[in-house]
Structure 1
Amino acid sequence: MGLISPAARDALQTWLNQQHALKGAAENTILAYQGDVTDFLAFITLHKGDAQGLGALARITVSDMRSWMAQTRSTGVGPRSMARKLSAVKAFYRWLAEREGFEPTAVLSTRSPKFQKKLPRPLAVDAAKALIDCVEIQSETPWVSARDVAVLTLLWGCGLRISEALALKGQDAPLPEVLRITGKGGKERVVPVIPAARHAINAYLAACPYPQEKDAPLFRAIRGGALNPRAISQVMANARMQLGLPATATPHAMRHSFATHLLDAGGDLRAIQELLGHASLSTTQAYTAVDTARLMEVYNRAHPKASG
């Protein structure tokens, strides 16, 4: 942050602290915000020719914003990442304008580049089962196969994020019938653990050569350290190639599948939102690929007025 004026640097740090303390933003989110806004402030400094104090930042024009976006895109940043960077800059400017008493229209009116949101593609029930069966015979080391099956069963059977599954410690096993998970932004949720997930973890622990230590990771890498998410992604990549499944069959797709298969079995969307730990119902709708026709079908079947 050497190019940025001390006043701008202090303002950014204060804003980041507030995002963390008041809004419970996750560490990764804070780091992304810091990088995105720092890059913007550094560009403005070079663009204008000197360190920009808060007064100068209040005088940013639409032309300045276009120059920043053009320069950022020229470095190979795609529309989705550009939209994220602009969103971070806008959030910072909203706060800064309120604190400093200026009108942030030039920044806030800047349009985000259009990009197609990729709808998650859940796996069919048969495909999810086939993937787990295939993963079971991937490794020549039996305990590693048992470990990979246990991780994927947790993602599909409990709707965990890969980071949440790999954050489990030795003290969490044997898994109870209900698990407390701390998700994004420190948000806690309660997740029922299906018997298949408990059995898979017990089978892994029985085969694992490393002792189950209270504070050590539950899922161990081949040399005994913490398991890296990339290892699970690679295992799934190998399995999906063997089964002829699309590239969308990733570890995260197992979490999508958890939600969709629950919904298909008659689960309630709000309850699924709670199980996934989503702050917004719209995120859950995207996960479960719910369309209006499907919602109307559920409504017409379930609402007392709909039938008569």
Structure 2
Amino acid sequence: MTGSGQLALAPAMSDALARWLDTESATRGRSAHTINAYRTDLLAFLGFLGAHHGEAATPKSLASLRQADMRAFAASERARGYGARSLARRQSAVRSFLRWISDREGFDLSAALSSRSPKYARSLPRPLSPEQAQDALDMVAVGHDTPWVAARDTAVMTLLWGCGLRISEALGLDGREWPFRDALTITGKGGKERRVPVLPVASDTVAEYLRLCPWRLAPDEPLFRGVRGGRLGPDVVAASLRRARAALGLPPTATPHALRHSFATHLLAAGGDLRSIQELLGHANLSTTQVYTGVDDARLMAVYHSAHPRK
């Protein structure tokens, strides 16, 4: 037994899980964060099976898995407080593992895999309007007593809004990337590369930051520096935008990631097509990008109802 009261993972199952995670990482380009999440999901599932059947699950014992087992696992997770969205994600990882191990071991798990995931309403991104985004950047530009720090935070946020970068992608830039010229090659999730056009205003804000920055620009050093010279951390950028939104009365959803959402939403509103926006954002699946159409539709309906209120 483990310290939590669950049966210890059988060695053969532990080995199978490690092999599957290695496969996901090597062939599907899963990030370290995703691999860790998958490991947690599968350990929860396999631990449940051990307690449910009174013996540790093995690769061969999974051949007898039934839909009732999957439903019992879902009920157990709900009882632990998991919502529909989290449970659907966890079940997706479990299904991927079961498909892999059934192919590897040569048995049929179609009955167990036919169990449906819970439905949930996908939450819409909360972008800023163009005016709100510009006001936030203007406030950040004057929101710090040290001019180079204010210029730095403005440059980072301009890249998020103007290029649709993730905060990790912007802060991961090194000196060798400068000058940007017309486009940047960004390595996103899963090591996937994409080309992102850089607007002149974004290059200008970075140039101003570098003019004021007390640290020498070097090819192998971070482009964006903290006050002690190390790589700038995302919490510092979030804190800067938090002060700006408080001064402007913007909602708590006005975060650095909301600037990336704003990039996508504003492009869509201006007539951009989903495929192009998908490539610019570095989304692996078009369905991830399609969520922004819901934002645009929601805004359209808000305008409609304000112009045509029900009597």
TM range (shorter): 0.7 to 0.9
The answer as to 2:35 corresponding to 1:30 is yes
Following superposition, the deviation at residue 147 of structure 1 comes to 1.1
Following superposition, the deviation at residue 292 of structure 1 comes to 11
* 1:275 alignment partner, one of 276, 280, 294: 280
Count of residue correspondences: 294
Greater mean alpha carbon deviation, residues 30-39 or residues 146-155: 30-39
SS of match in other structure, 2:22: helix
Deviations 1:93-141 (A, max 9, x none): 1111122222324542333233321111221111110010111122222
- Could you tell me whether the CA contact under 8 Å between 2:63 and 2:107 is conserved in 1? yes
Cα distance in 1 for residues equivalent to 2:297 and 2:142: 37
SS of match in other structure, 2:226: coil
Cα distance in 1 for residues equivalent to 2:15 and 2:154: 48
- Could you tell me whether the CA contact under 8 Å between 1:93 and 1:107 is conserved in 2? no
Cα distance in 2 for residues equivalent to 1:244 and 1:108: 48
SS of match in other structure, 1:189: strand
Matches within 5 A, 1:87-106: 87-106=92-111
> Which residue type is aligned with residue 88 of structure 2?
A
- Aligned partner of 1:261 in structure 2 is 266
The answer as to 2:116 corresponding to 1:111 is yes
Q: What is the Cα-based RMSD across aligned positions, in Å?
A: 2.3
The percent identity for this pair of structures is 53
Cα distance in 1 for residues equivalent to 2:112 and 2:251: 40
> Which residue type is aligned with residue 43 of structure 1?
F
Unaligned runs of 5+ in 2: 301-311
Cα distance in 1 for residues equivalent to 2:123 and 2:265: 16
- Could you tell me whether the CA contact under 8 Å between 2:269 and 2:296 is conserved in 1? no
- Aligned partner of 1:251 in structure 2 is 256
TM-score by length of 2: 0.86
**CA spacing shift, 1:210–1:273, aligned 2, 3 Å:** same
> Which residue type is aligned with residue 39 of structure 2?
Q
Cα distance in 1 for residues equivalent to 2:141 and 2:64: 60
* 1:61 alignment partner, one of 63, 66, 70: 66
Cα distance in 2 for residues equivalent to 1:47 and 1:111: 20
TM-score by length of 1: 0.87
Cα distance in 2 for residues equivalent to 1:251 and 1:64: 42
Cα distance in 1 for residues equivalent to 2:75 and 2:237: 37
- Could you tell me whether the CA contact under 8 Å between 2:67 and 2:113 is conserved in 1? no
**CA spacing shift, 1:22–1:212, aligned 2, 3 Å:** same
SS of match in other structure, 2:245: helix
Matches within 5 A, 1:1-308: 3-288=8-293, 289-291=295-297
Following superposition, the deviation at residue 290 of structure 1 comes to 4.7
- Could you tell me whether the CA contact under 8 Å between 1:43 and 1:68 is conserved in 2? yes
SS of match in other structure, 1:128: helix
Following superposition, the deviation at residue 242 of structure 1 comes to 1.9
Following superposition, the deviation at residue 282 of structure 1 comes to 2.6
Unaligned runs of 5+ in 1: 295-308
Cα distance in 1 for residues equivalent to 2:284 and 2:179: 29
> Which residue type is aligned with residue 270 of structure 1?
R
**CA spacing shift, 1:71–1:221, aligned 2, 3 Å:** farther
- Could you tell me whether the CA contact under 8 Å between 1:65 and 1:106 is conserved in 2? no
- Could you tell me whether the CA contact under 8 Å between 1:123 and 1:249 is conserved in 2? yes
